[in-house]
């Protein structure tokens, strides 16, 4: 690939910035200063440095975002801020997108990547990837509801796969419940609709996990980080090139 593309891909800067760095002799290829943007490099074999640091070329990037309420899980939108607005320039240059959607008012774990095969595998209805949500509910959830979830809740247009409802706390005085729900599919407003089918209402929804990825307690709401090597390796269960 062209050296300027390599440098942009590595997050060194925009194409224009990269051209300036090249002119200023900040880049070497295999030990020699290189000033031409058109120079061809082999991203696997050639050793490229910028300001003395060796650059590692990545095709795929993976971000864990603790999505806040109020932003939408899309790459662009005319009216609302999107999850991409919360990431860095490198993520946008790498054209990451969210793997699945959370409602605008839902918060918690969201994976963003530019690896289309991985997204496809994780979202495939055949793969039945577990997603765990914590929900604050208006109303008291019961053992009967637990059983209904286990059997597969009947919605207007579909029957849900068996799901787990775990009652964490009941507040009889305020008539509220805190629950954990595990679903293996990802239909529109699914958790809210399942709870509504039991005659109660989700007032707050947070995603805690998706497959092997777990929301990082140390990641403040609205913040993101790259996946760790271990997290990235855990995605190998999906059988795609990472």
Q: Looking at the annotation, which residues are catalytic?
A: 103
Cα separation of 107 and 202, whole Å?
13
Residue 106 touching ligand URA (CB under 6 A) = yes
Nearer to ligand URA, 37 or 206 (CB): 206
Cα separation of 170 and 137, whole Å?
10
DSSP string of 193-238, one letter each residue: HHHHHTT-EEEEEEEEEETTEE--TTS-TT-EEEPPHHHHHHGGGG
Nearer to ligand URA, 94 or 131 (CB): 131
The answer to whether residues 133 and 181 touch, using CB atoms and an 8 Å cutoff, is: yes
The answer to whether residues 135 and 221 touch, using CB atoms and an 8 Å cutoff, is: no
Report CA 40 to chain centroid distance, whole Å: 33
Cross-strand partners of 167: 179
Which of 189, 199, 223, 228 is the binder for ligand URA (CB under 6 A)?
A: 189
Residue 205 touching ligand URA (CB under 6 A) = yes
Nearer to ligand URA, 29 or 102 (CB): 102
Query: Which among 20, 100, 117 is positioned nearest to 59, based on CA atoms?
Result: 117
Tokens, residue 109: 């774990």
Nearer to ligand URA, 188 or 230 (CB): 188
Q: How far apart are the first and last CA of the chain?
A: 20
Which of 43, 58, 77, 103 is the binder for ligand URA (CB under 6 A)?
A: 103
Residue 148 touching ligand URA (CB under 6 A) = no
Residue 192 touching ligand URA (CB under 6 A) = yes
Nearer to ligand URA, 94 or 192 (CB): 192
Piece in contact with ligand URA (CB under 6 A), picked from 22-30, 50-58, 98-106, 143-151: 98-106
Piece in contact with ligand URA (CB under 6 A), picked from 23-31, 139-147, 189-197, 221-229: 189-197
Residue 201 touching ligand URA (CB under 6 A) = no
Piece in contact with ligand URA (CB under 6 A), picked from 1-9, 59-67, 169-177, 183-191: 183-191
Residue 191 touching ligand URA (CB under 6 A) = yes
CB of 105 to ligand URA, least distance (A): 8
Query: Which among 72, 140, 65, 64 is positioned nearest to 106, based on CA atoms?
Result: 72
The answer to whether residues 34 and 4 touch, using CB atoms and an 8 Å cutoff, is: no
* Residue list 38-77, contact with ligand URA (CB under 6 A): none
Cα separation of 141 and 7, whole Å?
54
> Which residues of the chain form contacts with ligand URA (CB under 6 A)?
102-103, 106, 189-192, 205
């Amino acid at each position: 690939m062209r050296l300027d593309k390599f440098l942009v891909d590595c997050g060194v800067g925009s194409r224009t910035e990269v051209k300036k760095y090249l002119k200023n002799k900040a880049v070497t290829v295999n030990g020699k200063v290189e000033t031409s943007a058109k120079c061809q490099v082999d991203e696997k074999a050639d050793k490229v440095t910028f300001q003395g640091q060796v650059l590692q070329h990545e095709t795929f990037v993976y971000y864990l975002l603790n999505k806040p309420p109020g932003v939408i899980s899309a790459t662009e939108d005319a009216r609302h801020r999107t999850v991409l607005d919360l990431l860095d320039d490198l993520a946008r240059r790498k054209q990451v997108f969210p793997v699945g959607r959370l409602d605008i008012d839902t918060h918690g774990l969201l994976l963003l990547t530019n690896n289309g095969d991985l997204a496809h595998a994780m979202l495939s209805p055949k793969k039945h990837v577990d997603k765990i949500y914590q929900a604050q509910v208006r109303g008291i959830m019961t053992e009967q509801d637990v059983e209904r979830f286990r059997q597969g809740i009947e919605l207007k247009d579909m029957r849900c796969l068996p799901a787990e409802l775990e009652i964490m706390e009941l507040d009889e005085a305020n008539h509220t419940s805190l629950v954990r729900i595990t679903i293996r599919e990802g239909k529109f407003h699914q958790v809210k609709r399942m709870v509504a089918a039991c005659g109660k209402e989700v007032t707050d929804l947070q995603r805690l996990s998706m497959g092997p990825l777990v929301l990082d307690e140390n990641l403040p709401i609205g913040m993101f980080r790259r996946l760790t090597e271990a997290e990235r390796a855990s995605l190998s269960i999906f059988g795609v090139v990472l």
